[in-house]
Chains A and B, each alone.
Chain A
Amino acid sequence: MQSLVHVCLAGLSNGMFIWLVASGLTLIFGVLGVLNFAHGSFYMLGAYCCFTVLSHLGAGYWAGLLLGPLAVCAAGYVVERFFLRHVYRIALPYQLLLTFAFVLIFDNLVKIVWGGGALSPPQLTFLGGSIPILGRKYPVYNLFIIAMGPAVALGLHLLLERTWYGKIIRAASSDREMSSAIGVRVPTLFTGVFVFGTWLGALGGGLAVPYVGLLTPGMGETIIIEAFIVAVIGGLGSLKGAFVGALVIGVMSAFGTRFFPTFDMFLIFILMAGVLLVRPQGLFGATR
């Protein structure tokens, strides 16, 4: 029992953590139609900026979590406004190449600014300790991550379904020309959505600082693969799909590692292959 509950908790926290990163990726794909490889770099930059605020400005982790991702939004703005905007109309491979170029640029930028070595953040004070759950310690911060996942999901849902901005975003994503014809400034809207997606990725990075406990120049590359798997399983562009996909992947890999250690990676790829064979559009993807 103790074991099962803790495996579930590990799966939930990991799943919600992947969801936080996948949400921005999915939002950007759903609205702009761009598969943004550089999303992992925004995650990494979010973590590094958060670290800088907390360790050098001495402002503490929570200020870092607030300010760090905001700083990364500037990078997101530059990438969309001055680069991506020019490739929307040409073939998809060019968009992929462009965003991949940014992965390399940001990786090296991080090495130049913060150095190549791993950075290890100090322990948290607020939400820092562990509490016993069924006789085994569990970090309070991971409960916070588990709560953050649904909170972000709810926030995104309300934003897209209940607000005027959400309506415009949905309109522009389903028909660019028509929205433009009725007076929506689509380019500005796209910049706004891209920057918001960037912020979500960077927020994931900021949350990773205590969760992973380590910052390295390649940290974005591991997470972006998981986020892509989640997005594909859930259906590219579907936020609901990404949420469910992240939960499934998180819990499944935790159970895999604990109970089927020989196949743990294998399980996830089998699931992905299965979903692609039965429902190529993903669990919640729209049929085109």
Chain B
Amino acid sequence: MGKKRLSRRQFLKLAGGSSLAVAAGGIGGALASPKWVWGATPAVKGPIKVGYQAILSGTLAGYGEFHKMGVQMAVEEINARGGIAGQKVDMEFRDSTTKPDEAIKNARYFVDSWGADFLGGIDSSGQALALAPIMSQLDRVLMVTHAATEKLTEDFVYKQGVRQIFRICMPTYNDGHAAAFLAKDFPAVKWSTVSPKYEYGFTCWKMFQDTLKKVKPGVEFVAESWAPFGTTDFRSHINTIMDAKPDGLYSTEWAGELISFVKQAKEAGLFEKVKYVMLPVGAAMDVLEGLGKDMPDNIWISARYRFQKRWNHYPAYVSETGYSTLYAFKAAVEKAGSKDTKAVIAALEGMEMSSPAGRRLFRKEDHQAIYDVPWGKTKTDPKYPFKVMGEMKIIPAKEYFNRPPFEGPGTSPPFK
């Protein structure tokens, strides 16, 4: 719809060099498809089946479409170049909704009925935590591409040993710890939050508080207001914040709710009264494009992902994680010489890969991908229809990611 929303074809076209090959593969058909490669390596039996799920309905339906763009592009690229270990990739995409039982139902369908070799996707932390306990029973590698709760990798992978789960996206460490590292250099002392009233919101605010207290003793947390999922009217929450007269506001509102929140806060003059505003999820493309010029200047946002020259368009966060997931599977299967779950887990552990978001390393202990993402301050640039990041800062991931064994002193930042 309109100029902003890209169709998949446009996305492919814009995505630069590599996708030209895909387009050619699509048009040229049989001519370009290297059939002889598939079947040349009999070690892995094909096709490689990937069951992917993300939100395709309701208020967050756009996220599923972003996932799909990235994943489908990767599948087409990989198949045009001979597949994974010579085998064709087959992908099925299902609507996860936001309900935990729907995620479980999809995963069971993928593995039991459709015969998936790999699972990917998952937007909600609640869904990730619901799915985690049955992953050892399903015994397929699940690559989480959006859900951020640190409990997934710390509790389930590390402490309980559910080795089937990996995460390619940023965990809450970036939204909580990294934000605190940045906030310590601001003159702001009194902090407040308006955040989502569920797992993700609570866990980020707690991390932010814990780390900020350690690195800057004397900070105060003067107000918190929790907005339930589906909030459209943030005015009472904004009143709570403005009554407390804080110096800083930290908010992990995201997607459409963040757009509504920023617009309504601007109307109420919040950004004139509160000088330091941090939105860890503020640099998501849907938010930047959605707000356009309504995004105030001088807000600290996190990109989670560097825009690279290679992309002529600005891909959404989840398009990139979905895209890179397929390449992670490819690398792991080819390294292991098998698509057997055990072998692939062994290959993925400690594996390094380059991706559009930079170099990623899958940490052996908790299966969390470690990579650096920048923070930046919003500014107006006449070249873009939305606000871009000026004054970028990168805090290296290894300085603020929690470390195994995730308990006791020295496992959470700051590290000496």
Binding site for B on A (CB under 8 A): 3, 6-7, 9-11, 13-14, 17, 55-56, 107, 111, 113-120, 122-123, 130, 136-139, 142, 208, 211-214, 216-219, 221-223, 253-254, 257-258, 261, 265
Contact = CB atoms under 8 A, between A and B. Distances in A.
Contacts of A120: 259, 263, 290-292, 294
Summarize B's interface: helix, strand, loop or mixed: helix
B58 A221 contact: yes
A216 B268 contact: no
Given A136-B268, A258-B240, A218 B61 contact: yes
B236 A257 contact: yes
13 contacts: A10-B236, A107-B57, A113-B1, A114-B1, A116-B61, A116-B64, A120-B291, A130-B267, A136-B269, A138-B267, A142-B235, A211-B233, A213-B264
A257 B224 CA distance: 11
Contact of B226 (A14, A123, A261): A261
Interface of B: 1-2, 5, 56-62, 64-66, 224-226, 228, 230, 232-233, 235-237, 239-240, 242-243, 255-256, 259-260, 263-264, 267-269, 286, 290-292, 294
A137 B286 CA distance: 27
A224 to B, nearest CB: 12
A122 B240 CA distance: 27
A254 B255 contact: no
Contacts of B269: 130, 136-137
Given A130-B268, A137-B269, A138-B268, A217 B57 contact: yes
Contact of A56 (B2, B239, B267, B286): B2
Contact of B236 (A7, A114, A116, A213): A7
Contact of A115 (B57, B62, B232): B62
Contacts of A114: 1
Would you list the 5 A-B pairs with minimal beta carbon distance, nearest first?
Answer: A117-B62, A116-B61, A218-B58, A137-B269, A257-B236
A118 B239 contact: no
Contact of B62 (A118, A138, A142): A118
A221 B228 CA distance: 14
A127 B171 CA distance: 42
A138 B220 CA distance: 28
A142 to B, nearest CB: 8
Contacts of B237: 257
Contacts of B286: 117-118
B232 A214 contact: yes
A10 B255 contact: no
A216 B236 contact: no
Given A7-B236, A217-B58, A265 B228 contact: yes
A136 B265 CA distance: 12
A20 B255 CA distance: 26
Given A217-B58, A265-B228, 16 more contacts: A7-B239, A116-B65, A117-B61, A117-B62, A117-B66, A117-B286, A119-B290, A120-B290, A120-B292, A120-B294, A136-B242, A137-B269, A139-B264, A212-B232, A216-B59, A222-B232
B260 to A, nearest CB: 5
A214 B260 contact: yes
B65 A139 contact: no
A56 B292 CA distance: 17
A192 B243 CA distance: 48
Contacts of B224: 261
Nearest to B235: A10
A213 B238 CA distance: 15
Given A118-B256, A265-B228, A216 B263 contact: no
B65 A257 contact: no
Contacts of A257: 225, 236-237, 240
Contacts of A211: 233
Nearest to A257: B236
A13 B232 contact: no
Contacts of B59: 118, 216-219, 222
A137 B268 contact: yes
Given A118-B286, A214-B256, A222 B230 contact: yes
Contact of A10 (B5, B225, B233): B233
Contacts of A11: 236
Nearest to A18: B233
A120 B260 CA distance: 9
A154 B1 CA distance: 39
A116 B56 contact: yes
Nearest to A111: B61
A137 B238 CA distance: 11
B190 to A, nearest CB: 17
A1 to B, nearest CB: 11
A102 to B, nearest CB: 15
B62 A116 contact: yes
A116 B291 CA distance: 17
Contact of B235 (A14, A55, A208, A223): A14
A139 B267 contact: yes
Contact of B233 (A14, A113, A122, A258): A14
Contacts of A123: 294
Contact of B61 (A216, A258, A261): A216
Nearest to B62: A117
Contacts of B61: 111, 116-117, 216-218
A222 B2 CA distance: 26
A115 B5 contact: yes
Contacts of B239: 3, 6-7, 10, 258
Contacts of B263: 120, 213-214
A88 B64 CA distance: 38
A37 to B, nearest CB: 15
Contacts of B1: 113-115, 119
Given A107-B57, A118-B290, A213 B260 contact: yes
